A and B are shown apart, each in its own frame.
Chain A
Amino acid sequence: MAHQTEVSHHAPEEEHPTSTGINNRKLLMWVFLSSDCLFFGSLIATYMVYRGQSLVGPYPVDIIDVPITTISTFVLLCSSFAMVRALAATNENRQGAILFWLLMTAFLGAIFIGFQVYEFNLFRSEGLRIDTNLFGSTFFTLTGFHGAHVTLGIVWLLGLAWVAKKGRLGPKTALDVELAGLYWHFVDIVWIVIFTLLYLIGGFDTGPAGDPSLVPHSITGFLGLI
């Protein structure tokens, strides 16, 4: 197959040839991300199935704050940009820049988490807890697992920054940064989906009292998508 020729294409990095022509660690990362799609897919499905099914409030429209979350979405997008800069700096062996952009990515990620902590606390004080209703359960489970992914990413980035500080990151070890970057960007795209579904589309859902036709609406609305 054509892949054989691509092996030499990757030659500059010191890799042993693999039957796929892809570095094994990189393939592993992509397979993991691929499987993580299923993980988030099932959490998103759970949210959609129970959308508009809560018997008691608070309902999304009562507490979801789209403008604030748009800001934190921007922050996460910025962090993805910082991440690609970190990888570029690694490939170009600019030591100071590697450290700077890695820390910047982690910092922006931390701000995102800060927004989430603020939001969760606010919701709690407004009466939405994970055991309040189906909305609370599905919302906190989905966004909570995403937040956990971001947190793990921050730890990973800080670890890399520590390695960078020792001057051990450079073109030869660029894959270390690249893999963290893949994970980080993945967490970003998951947020793109969550933001659209839970905030832009589902953020204005009212309770059954406000709109009894909500259930068919959400399902036909979803099927209309496809």
Chain B
Amino acid sequence: MSSDHGVHESRHPTLKQYVIIAIFLFAITIVEFVIILPEDFRGQGWTIAPLAILSAIKFAAVIFFYMHLKFDNRMLTWVFLGGLALGFAVVLALVGLFASWTPSPRAFAEDHAKPCTLDHELGGCLEDRPKAAPEPVDPVDQPPSEEGRTEIDPEEPPAPGGLVEIGRQVFITGTGQGAATPCVTCHTVGGVPEAVGLLGPDLSHIGTEAATRQPGVSAEDYIAQSIRDPESFIAEGVDRATPGLMLTAITAGLADEDVDALVAFLMAQQ
């Protein structure tokens, strides 16, 4: 920092200088905006350096001219830069600490996550509400469920393609005739780009694995049971599962057709 100007004329810049600084700040902001204007540039790693440098220049222009640190007692500059450096060190330390921490924050969050279907009207999760929901579901759900499923599976050879496709949609969106938390939130299925959830087991090969879960329970029955009544049996040794996370509340809203379609879709994951 040289003292070539400012010190001997006045402690504050002139109006003209202030205007120039204002225009300068505007111009930098526009350049920053232009950098991220092309869609291909957005969020690219290389944009970080120029954006950070431009912001640092703006930052310096404001503190040295608008806040006239440049024209003021030098000690003030050190007082402020000292705090700024400490603040920067705090950022570095925390980011470094968490970057090297295992499990990563996300893995930790996944391990401790609980299902939450956001209630947009009241806030909070639907799962936390007192369980008044089962009433409309139970009467519809139970009686036709056994027959409905046994009918469709063997009898409709041309349909499975359609049924599998419907099942895939329900699996991804969570909505069919009824509604559930989208299965993709928690489950990964190879070949389904949307399905990358990590909270539940990988279902890429559930079509074959399901038969091995419970002695005497067929693959289809096991899958259907896993969907209808997920809390009744929890498979052991399943990778990446957060045991017990798949709650009945998640799937209670599904209609029988949805369950059939889901079973067909999952049976196809060999």
Contacts and interface: CB of A to CB of B under 8 A. Distances in A.
Interface of A: 3, 6, 20-22, 26-27, 30-31, 33-42, 44-46, 48-50, 52-53, 55-56, 61, 66-67, 70, 73-74, 77-78, 80-81, 83-85, 87-88, 91, 127, 129, 131-132, 134, 181-182, 185-186, 188-189, 192-193, 195-196, 200-201, 203-206, 208-209, 212, 215, 217, 219-226
Contacts, number: 182
Contact of A34 (B19, B66, B79, B123): B79
Nearest to B19: A81
B62 A48 contact: no
Nearest to B96: A223
Contacts of A45: 90-91, 93-95
A196 B47 CA distance: 11
B67 A186 contact: yes
Interface of B: 12, 15, 18-19, 22, 25-26, 29, 32-33, 35-36, 42-43, 45, 47-49, 51-52, 54-55, 58-59, 62-63, 66-67, 73, 75-76, 79-80, 82-84, 86-88, 90-95, 98-99, 104-106, 109-110, 113, 116, 118, 120, 123-124, 184-185, 194, 196, 199
A31 B91 contact: no
A41 B62 contact: no
Contacts of B15: 85, 88
Nearest to A186: B67
Given A44-B91, A56-B185, A205-B43, A200 B36 contact: yes
B75 A74 contact: no
Contacts of A224: 45, 48-49
